[in-house]
Structure 1
Amino acid sequence: MGWTNKNFWGLCFTFLGMSLSAQELPKTLSEIPPHASYSILVRDLNDKKELISVTPQRTLVSASLMKLVTTATALEVLGHDYQFSTRFWINGPVLNGELNGNLIVEGGGDPTLGSQYFKSQSPEIILSKVLEFLKEQGIERIEGNILVDNSWIKNSRFPSRRLWEDMGNYYGAPPAALTWKDNSFNIGLKSSSQLGQKCDIVEIDPPLKRISITSNVVSASHQNDSAYIYGLPGMRKWEIRGSIPAGINGFIIKGALPYPGMTFASEVAGKVLLQPGIGMQEVTDSGWKSDARLIGEIKSPHLSEIVREINHRSLNLGADHLLLALGKKAGNINLSDWDGGLELIRKYWGKRLTQPYYNNIKDGSGLAPLNTLSSVFLVGMIDYMYNNSPNRDVFKTSLAQSGRSGTLKYVWNDGVLNGKVWGKSGSMQDVMCYSGYVFRQGKSPLAFAIMVNHFGIESREVRKIIEKILEESISG
């Protein structure tokens, strides 16, 4: 049932300048609350006919749809076979199995190192490779330090406009020159069976040195993880607020690892060298290279595989790493890597898309709530990737498939579009967005973007509305 009568909505659509093709607007459009904002465009990729166009130039909070922009740009600029690299150096002689000098780990911005999402990069495999590097040099122990070179990132690790309540949690973990285990750590909480009681911290893995964490989490009747971690590198006192289900011993929440490079160094010292007391130090310049020699290198999977995981699993950390890599590629010495990457994205698509648009982008993942995109930009970009890019197949297969995989596994999963939509979702509070392709049997493919903000109703209701809008727009 709509929010008002058909005539009123017809006047509204005319007033807002909504353009139509030969077919009428989907009836379901009237189910969107009148106070909501939306931007919708569905385009035929062959003849460029617009099946539906409703305020397509309106910019809205896009959430994780920003990952489509970052991954597409990375494929175009860096190449599908691009790899990150982590290098290992020593700067002293080896005598009787002892290195009289330092082991230096040069971070290269690899988001896959020790990641749970890449089997070839598991912590066990990575540490075994480090052991092999040392064995090849005859090194059994170190009379020196482990240095971690963090100079790959120019200026700050942290993006602008990120929410305080996100930054201490795993999904808001910032990139690092040496990212390790998705830059996350686990906190185990024990909740009382009595509601409203404070929960105890029973485990922190890996342990955080020189940081104390206070739990102000309470037990609740729901079954959700509603606990949030508040803390940043440099802060000695962190806090957890919110609630978790009552009566659970060992409820795990995940935080943003404050010093991932030092955690990696600690594991090399304790698990590889069996010297847990060895000195460790972070450095931010490459002055040590003058008397060092390379003993090994670990490369990431190819960018095509990284992009697939980012878009299928909506990995914030990976997307932000790609933005920094774009910033380094841009090479603007007057900008941080964050701003350099954003500038490169703006310039790249500004030269290739013909329809006017306005975007306001702040990071590579879409986690910053001030990121805004428009449907005309998104459709134009994925149209370009399909019709003009040598990376068409890589980009398309990086997307989730409706009813089958990734963030679309439970979307368009029981109707005519089951298995026919390849795309990406984006959501946060009062934000629901989808964009991608529709491949129809015997018909030309479509590009679409449907974005709804400020709806003020249950997210699942908006999701169903969006599903029906796309179904109705292509039914003619």
Structure 2
Amino acid sequence: MRTAIFAVCVALLLNGRGATAAVAPEGQPVPEGARQKVERICKAQPLGPAAVGVLAVRMDGDTVACVNPGLRLVPASNMKLITTGLALLELGEDYRFETRLAYSGSIEDGVLHGDLYIVGGGDPTTGARVPCAEPLESLFSEWAGFVRDAGITRIEGRVVADPRYFPEPVAENFGWTYDDLGTNYGAGPTGLNFFENAQNFLVRPASSAGSAPSVRVSYPETPWMEYRNYAVTSSRGTANTLCYINTPLAPVAGFVGEFPSDRGAYTLECSNSFAAYTCASYFCRYLESRGIRSLGPADIGPDGGVRLLPGETSGPAAASWGSLTFIGSSYSPTLASIVRETNCESDNFFAETLFKALSLSRSGSAGYGDCCAAAEAALLEAGLPAEGVCQIFDGSGLSRKNYVSADFFVRFLRMMLQSPCADIYLRTLPSPGERGTLEYKFPSETPEFRSRIRMKSGSMNGVRSYSGYILASDGDPSHTIVFSLITNNLTASSWAVNPVLDSIIRAIAAEN
């Protein structure tokens, strides 16, 4: 009895959130706290052989769980937490990307003797099929209105796609793996984008194994492209290894790999190396449907010359912005809306656009080396030096060269919750059950439980990560838990790993 009384007295003396020792009646086992439970889970299968970093800290400073917090790991899409947070701090929640319409030459009797320019400003939502984007028909109607209001009824020149806002010759990040580059999630942003610089193909197996599957363009149409089909239809029950290979150097692309014979019709989502030209092509069609004819689309190559077809040798130098006559501007949704879409749907394309916009705002350049340096400089200004604890190689987390510790994520998230952007940043993070990557997370939990969690998921082969906030059940902001859970080198299947990671999050959430 004396032992029990002494334990209770010690607990009362330590009364406060820093005390982690649990007290149980004499003869009963001490309840397992979050720290002990998380440590036990991380040592057992399937996490035991993996590299795991966990840190959960209340805003009042109490540590809830801690396993290898300083271990630098590949974070996958948790990188978007840093990219979107820094973009909000640098650009502001009301920032909008601008796309301008302009022309070269002169207008006489309704005829433009020159070219019509679509001068991109990096808007990632142009032609995108996401809730926050303006429908393409509405956007093109606005652009056509600028043309009509300028008195143009015919164009004796080209509709020129101008992507020079982000002038890098290759839009994709050099840290991405080869098999990611042809996918829609491996599309890089340019100054003028269209349909998130993606392209969909409809694939059907051939009637017999060994023959090429049927592949046709679904959207957008790109009649200037040459497609070579090296793929084969494989036997029933085999894996779908179909891949798309393209390049910004020529309008030629190919399909390789195997497509199983028992697979139904399938949409292959790929990248489009000539999205700016595609935008000009579709707007040409729209203008013609409204009675405004032109000589067709063109774009501007990496050397600054106008190209009549993508990938071909450039012609005369494009007009400088200073020499153009501007006739109107359209604007993207607010940055807050774009960040919300980025974090909810884990949109790589939007994240990479924000990564470039952050760098352009800070340094005037959007090369990937400059982008990484700009992000690190912004972190340093926020009191979070990245050296030795956070290696940034892209904005989306697609690169396996990103390395961030759970401790750094927690410190970053705490900083964001104490920043002027705290409320809007928190609202951009999804809760389980909401549209996006967390839609089917914690389906059996109560709505109250799910609504308290605001977090970002991340996944790639061998990697699973979750970082974010667990709001306090008592509503006290100082009791909000900031957490990061990163796992690398996983060999078990997702169905075995995901419930275990869920149990870690539940254990942490039980502490507030």
Alignment of 1:346-361 (within 5 A): 346-353=376-383, 358-361=389-392
Q: Quick one: distance in 1 between partners of 2:131 and 2:406?
A: 32
Hey, what does 2:429 align to over in structure 1?
A: 399
Give CA-to-partner distance per residue, 1:6-59, whole Å, 9 cap, x none.
xxxxxxxxxxxxxx95444213223344321011001101x1111011111111
Secondary structure at 1:467 match in 2: helix
Hey, what does 1:269 align to over in structure 2?
A: 284
Hey, what does 1:77 align to over in structure 2?
A: 90
Give the TM-score normalised by the residue count of structure 1: 0.88
* C-alpha deviation, 1:166, in angstroms: 0.9
Q: Quick one: distance in 1 between partners of 2:111 and 2:241?
A: 50
Q: Quick one: distance in 1 between partners of 2:153 and 2:360?
A: 36
Hey, what does 2:368 align to over in structure 1?
A: 338
Q: Quick one: distance in 2 between partners of 1:276 and 1:88?
A: 15
Query: Which stretch shifts more, 402-411 or 84-93?
Result: 402-411
Query: Which stretch shifts more, 50-59 or 130-139?
Result: 130-139
Query: Which stretch shifts more, 287-296 or 127-136?
Result: 287-296
* C-alpha deviation, 1:460, in angstroms: 2.5
Q: 1:153 aligns with which of 166, 171, 181?
A: 166
1:25 aligns with 2:39: no
Q: 1:107 aligns with which of 120, 139, 148?
A: 120
* C-alpha deviation, 1:345, in angstroms: 1.6
Hey, what does 1:5 align to over in structure 2?
A: none
For residue 452 of structure 1, what is the amino acid of its counterpart? T
Q: Which has the larger radius of gyration?
A: 2
Distance 1:348 1:198, change over 3 A: same
Q: Note if contact 1:131-1:272 (Cα within 8 Å) is conserved in structure 2.
A: yes
Aligned Cα root-mean-square deviation (Å): 2.5
Hey, what does 1:370 align to over in structure 2?
A: 401
Hey, what does 2:8 align to over in structure 1?
A: none
Distance 1:382 1:262, change over 3 A: same
Distance 1:41 1:273, change over 3 A: same
For residue 371 of structure 2, what is the amino acid of its counterpart? G
Q: Quick one: distance in 2 between partners of 1:390 and 1:80?
A: 10
Distance 1:348 1:297, change over 3 A: same
For residue 270 of structure 1, what is the amino acid of its counterpart? R
Hey, what does 2:309 align to over in structure 1?
A: none
Secondary structure at 1:437 match in 2: strand
Q: Quick one: distance in 2 between partners of 1:265 and 1:330?
A: 30
Q: Quick one: distance in 2 between partners of 1:279 and 1:381?
A: 45
Aligned length: 454
For residue 25 of structure 1, what is the amino acid of its counterpart? Q
Q: 2:486 aligns with which of 428, 431, 451?
A: 451
Q: 1:380 aligns with which of 411, 423, 427?
A: 411
Secondary structure at 1:395 match in 2: helix
For residue 42 of structure 1, what is the amino acid of its counterpart? A
Q: Note if contact 1:222-1:244 (Cα within 8 Å) is conserved in structure 2.
A: no
Q: Quick one: distance in 2 between partners of 1:117 and 1:363?
A: 23
Q: Quick one: distance in 2 between partners of 1:361 and 1:217?
A: 38
Hey, what does 1:141 align to over in structure 2?
A: 154
Hey, what does 2:267 align to over in structure 1?
A: 252
Distance 1:107 1:332, change over 3 A: closer
Hey, what does 1:89 align to over in structure 2?
A: 102
Secondary structure at 2:487 match in 1: strand
Q: Note if contact 2:204-2:265 (Cα within 8 Å) is conserved in structure 1.
A: yes
Hey, what does 1:238 align to over in structure 2?
A: 253
Q: Quick one: distance in 2 between partners of 1:267 and 1:475?
A: 53
Alignment of 1:397-476 (within 5 A): 397-415=427-445, 417-442=449-474, 444-475=479-510
For residue 308 of structure 1, what is the amino acid of its counterpart? R
Secondary structure at 2:81 match in 1: helix
For residue 188 of structure 1, what is the amino acid of its counterpart? L
Q: Quick one: distance in 2 between partners of 1:138 and 1:454?
A: 62
Q: Quick one: distance in 2 between partners of 1:398 and 1:222?
A: 41
Q: Quick one: distance in 2 between partners of 1:341 and 1:304?
A: 20
1:132 aligns with 2:145: yes
Distance 1:43 1:328, change over 3 A: same
Q: Note if contact 1:43-1:447 (Cα within 8 Å) is conserved in structure 2.
A: yes
Q: Quick one: distance in 2 between partners of 1:362 and 1:300?
A: 26
Query: Which stretch shifts more, 223-232 or 62-71?
Result: 223-232
* C-alpha deviation, 1:467, in angstroms: 0.9
Distance 1:214 1:37, change over 3 A: same
1:323 aligns with 2:355: yes
Distance 1:185 1:279, change over 3 A: closer
For residue 297 of structure 1, what is the amino acid of its counterpart? S
For residue 303 of structure 1, what is the amino acid of its counterpart? L
Q: Quick one: distance in 1 between partners of 2:381 and 2:297?
A: 50
Hey, what does 1:51 align to over in structure 2?
A: 64
Q: Note if contact 2:51-2:488 (Cα within 8 Å) is conserved in structure 1.
A: yes
Q: Quick one: distance in 2 between partners of 1:263 and 1:474?
A: 48
Q: 2:191 aligns with which of 167, 174, 177?
A: 177
Give the TM-score normalised by the residue count of structure 2: 0.82
Q: 2:244 aligns with which of 217, 226, 229?
A: 229
Query: Which stretch shifts more, 411-420 or 240-249?
Result: 240-249
Q: 1:278 aligns with which of 274, 277, 296?
A: 296
Q: Quick one: distance in 1 between partners of 2:129 and 2:55?
A: 36
Q: Note if contact 1:99-1:139 (Cα within 8 Å) is conserved in structure 2.
A: yes
Secondary structure at 1:104 match in 2: strand
Secondary structure at 1:400 match in 2: coil
Give CA-to-partner distance per residue, 1:47-106, whole Å, 9 cap, x none.
111101111111111110011110000000111111111111012332232111111111
Query: Which stretch shifts more, 167-176 or 92-101?
Result: 92-101
Q: Quick one: distance in 1 between partners of 2:51 and 2:412?
A: 22
Hey, what does 1:16 align to over in structure 2?
A: none
Q: Quick one: distance in 1 between partners of 2:110 and 2:356?
A: 39
Gaps of 5+ in 2: 1-18, 22-32, 305-317
Secondary structure at 1:401 match in 2: coil
Q: Quick one: distance in 2 between partners of 1:117 and 1:292?
A: 32
Hey, what does 2:330 align to over in structure 1?
A: 298
For residue 496 of structure 2, what is the amino acid of its counterpart? E
Percent identity between matched residues is 26
* C-alpha deviation, 1:133, in angstroms: 1.0
